[in-house]
A and B are shown apart, each in its own frame.
Chain A
Amino acid sequence: MLYKILEKGIYKDFIKALISDYEFIGPKKKDKSEHDFVLIKDISELDTNYMRTTIPPAKKILFPPNEQLVAYELGENINVRSVVESSKKILFGINAWDINGMNFLDKFFTTDFIDENYVAKREKLLVIGMDSEPTETNFSPSMGAEYAKDGFDIYLTELKNRYFVRIATPKGNEIVENYTKTRDVSDEDFKEYDKYMDDYRMKFKLDVAIKSFYDDFESIYNDEEFWKRVAKDCYSCGSCNLVCPTCFCFNVKDDIELNLKSGKKIREWDSCMIPEYGLVAGGHNFRPDKENRLKQRYRCKLKTFIDKFGKYACVGCGRCIEACLAKINIAEDINSVKKEVSI
């Protein structure tokens, strides 16, 4: 890691130069309350003071809702080939918890079998991180995700009249050297940065009892009454999955052209909350009840990957809490697991 200081006076020129030279994805105001990560053509479109993003930025760029995996031509001989789309991009203004969400997906898509459709996009993505204000549903500090240690190339932290720049990769360093001027970090800069981080962490108001969840979850696993109560209002709609920066479930389907001569395999996001998720041929459903599906979602987010990777598959962004039509609240549910068990 390299630490540098970028003066605010030349920040805009730095961004302008990147926008003109690169496919530049950044936050743009969509309506009163939401921002979306889209292609930015002009610096005036860019608005880094965002709180809410519609769909997790990192995920949709690396793992699009619909993605072609395979193309084939039918005929005397069938011709099959892989389709891997990737282009050099800058992802600008992504916050720490979404970077950590991306770090989880990096690990996931490269474990056991390597998913080259994901990896190809990830390798060509240059990530410039920036803090954003947490919403009141955000509990990333509990999940250890409010600070990004890695997963980015450059991270800009806004201090008084300057940016504290963390450069994590040679690629990031090249960008900084080629596109702007920086100076070395002084003791005073470091002090102000530490102070900033302390203040920033204070902005997160929501705290969850995640430390004891690992064991508490097992002890409450068979308490059907509890899970029925938690999932009582669930519509099984899958909104929580759609907004999640770490959800990765997908379906693969074949799609053939009307001429019946060529076709493709496409993957599209799936949701573990919808009833058909566990349905197999012959009609047996391995997870027919909504309380079991919700329980499985919590297990996947908060326990499974502790065993597998030593990390949570939840970064505490709180998007699912806001997206849920039935007001199901993962933070409250984590706390009520603890409360239920400690009685």
Chain B
Amino acid sequence: MGFEAQVKKNKNTIYVPDIARITRIEYLSPTEKVFKIVFDDEEKRNSFSFKPGQFVELTLFGLGEAPFSIVSNPTNKDFFKLCIRNAGNISNALHRMVEGTKIGIRGPFGNGYFPYDKMKNHNVLLIAGGLGIAPLMSLIRYILHYREDYKEIMVIYGAVNPGSILFKNEIQYWSNRGDISLCLSVDNPDNKWTGEIGVCTKLIPRVDFPSNDTYIVVCGPPIMYRYVIYELEKKKFKPENIYLSLERRMECGVGKCNHCHIGDKLVCVDGPVFNLWEIRNLKEAL
């Protein structure tokens, strides 16, 4: 048939995972852990590279597969890390795993990533709600690695309560650095909390970055996007400079199973990061 020519005979099909090992598990909160992952095969370890915002499909053999965004710095070559909340079948099982567990990895997937290259020589505003901080970590770590390439950097991060703030040590380190501004806000403070109170959208009016020189990335629960965008548009930030990472159910990660379908876009191959201009008229996206 007509497509014979374009078929490349690979050793493996797109559904076969590579074997990797969980080499370290860090406890972040009662519901989140960070898993450090290393490929068994040296060749795969050397060839694997990803861009901030991309994700992998993780297999627990016998249980199944689920997509997770990568949280580590893309400049780390020998390993990558995933931050996982125990919310579903696979993630709950992962929380019961020990260091040394063998898993399967496919990816990285996603043609839409955070445009770390375009952001160079501009201000960057990062807005995260809850676990939405995880996909942004990869970008923040990259930007801080090449800090001199970027102008002002600001992170707005909202969490439910002080206990659910993730990556506390790293956030402490950022505030010590002095070259990244940080706005933390919690919905339910405890009596030791001295920071902001309420949803993180309330902090956006205070941002004083010029609208024509700023890239914005947003990641959080589905409900958050509409409010954040409303506030950002009030400040006249350009939709083409606003990047959002979307979540959908995925079974394959390679544009075949169709579960992540929004209009004519597939989150797995066209995203998971989209700029607002691309999807502002895409019904059901936000």
In the complex, B42 has a CB within 8 A of chain A: no
CA–CA, A299 and B284, complex, Å = 12
B62, A254: Cβ atoms closer than 8 Å: yes
One of B1, B4, B65, B284 near A287 (C-beta < 8 A): B284
Residues of chain A within 8 A (CB-CB) of B17 are: 70, 80
One of B7, B85, B88, B258 near A116 (C-beta < 8 A): B7
Q: How far is the CB of A166 from chain B (nearest CB, A)?
A: 16
Identify the interface centre among A106, A252, A299, A300: most chain B CB within 10 Å of its CB: A252
Chain-B contact segment, one of A37-45, A88-96, A302-310:
A302-310
A281, B264: Cβ atoms closer than 8 Å: no
Residues A261-286 near B (CB distance < 8 A): 263, 265, 267, 270, 272, 277-284, 286
- With A110-B6, A221-B283, A286-B284 as known contacts, state yes or no: A250 contacts B247, CB within 8 Å: no
How many chain B residues touch the partner (CB < 8 A)?
53
B1, A254: Cβ atoms closer than 8 Å: no
B10, A248: Cβ atoms closer than 8 Å: no
Contacts A80-B18, A115-B13 given; 5 further ones with Cβ under 8 A? Answer: A115-B256, A119-B3, A278-B248, A282-B88, A303-B264
CA–CA, A296 and B282, complex, Å = 12
CA–CA, A114 and B247, complex, Å = 24
In the complex, B16 has a CB within 8 A of chain A: yes
In the complex, A81 has a CB within 8 A of chain B: yes
In the complex, A251 has a CB within 8 A of chain B: yes
A286, B248: Cβ atoms closer than 8 Å: yes
In the complex, A148 has a CB within 8 A of chain B: no
Jot down 25 A-B pairs with beta carbons below 8 A, ordered by A.
Answer: A70-B13, A82-B11, A82-B15, A82-B16, A113-B14, A114-B6, A114-B8, A115-B13, A116-B14, A119-B7, A123-B1, A123-B4, A221-B283, A222-B283, A249-B258, A250-B252, A250-B256, A251-B257, A252-B64, A252-B65, A254-B62, A254-B65, A278-B259, A282-B88, A287-B284
B61, A111: Cβ atoms closer than 8 Å: no
In the complex, B102 has a CB within 8 A of chain A: yes
A281, B89: Cβ atoms closer than 8 Å: yes
A112, B249: Cβ atoms closer than 8 Å: no
In the complex, A202 has a CB within 8 A of chain B: no
CA–CA, A117 and B16, complex, Å = 12
What 0/1 readout, one digit per residue, does chain B (75-95) give for beta carbons within 8 Å of chain A?
Answer: 000000000010111110000
Residues of chain B within 8 A (CB-CB) of A281 are: 66, 85, 87-91
CA–CA, A300 and B264, complex, Å = 8
A263, B62: Cβ atoms closer than 8 Å: yes
B14, A250: Cβ atoms closer than 8 Å: no
B258, A299: Cβ atoms closer than 8 Å: no
One of A119, A251, A304 near B263 (C-beta < 8 A): A304
Residues of chain A within 8 A (CB-CB) of B18 are: 80
Residues of chain A within 8 A (CB-CB) of B10 are: 116
In the complex, B104 has a CB within 8 A of chain A: yes
Q: Which residue of chain B lies nearest to A151 when distances are taken between CB atoms in the complex?
A: B1
A282, B61: Cβ atoms closer than 8 Å: no
B15, A117: Cβ atoms closer than 8 Å: yes
Identify the interface centre among B14, B19, B90: most chain A CB within 10 Å of its CB: B14
In the complex, A253 has a CB within 8 A of chain B: yes
In the complex, A204 has a CB within 8 A of chain B: no
B7, A250: Cβ atoms closer than 8 Å: no
Q: How far is the CB of A213 from chain B (nearest CB, A)?
A: 14
Q: How far is the CB of A244 from chain B (nearest CB, A)?
A: 13
Q: Which residue of chain B lies nearest to A110 when distances are taken between CB atoms in the complex?
A: B3
A252, B257: Cβ atoms closer than 8 Å: yes
Residues A117-131 near B (CB distance < 8 A): 117, 119, 122-123
In the complex, A53 has a CB within 8 A of chain B: no
A263, B61: Cβ atoms closer than 8 Å: yes
Q: How far is the CB of A201 from chain B (nearest CB, A)?
A: 26
Residues of chain B within 8 A (CB-CB) of A254 are: 59-65
B222, A249: Cβ atoms closer than 8 Å: no
Q: How far is the CB of B273 from chain A (nearest CB, A)?
A: 17
CA–CA, A300 and B1, complex, Å = 25
In the complex, A78 has a CB within 8 A of chain B: yes
B61, A279: Cβ atoms closer than 8 Å: no
A117, B259: Cβ atoms closer than 8 Å: no
CA–CA, A264 and B252, complex, Å = 15
Q: Which residue of chain A lies nearest to B104 when distances are taken between CB atoms in the complex?
A: A80
One of A113, A253, A299 near B256 (C-beta < 8 A): A113
In the complex, B261 has a CB within 8 A of chain A: yes
B63, A111: Cβ atoms closer than 8 Å: no
Residues of chain A within 8 A (CB-CB) of B269 are: 112-113
CA–CA, A284 and B222, complex, Å = 9
One of A72, A222, A278 near B61 (C-beta < 8 A): A72
Residues B115-148 near A (CB distance < 8 A): none
In the complex, B251 has a CB within 8 A of chain A: yes
In the complex, A69 has a CB within 8 A of chain B: yes
- With A69-B15, A278-B248, A286-B249 as known contacts, state yes or no: A113 contacts B254, CB within 8 Å: yes
In the complex, A109 has a CB within 8 A of chain B: yes
B14, A114: Cβ atoms closer than 8 Å: yes
What 0/1 readout, one digit per residue, does chain B (4-36) give for beta carbons within 8 Å of chain A?
Answer: 101111111111111100000000000000000
A292, B261: Cβ atoms closer than 8 Å: no
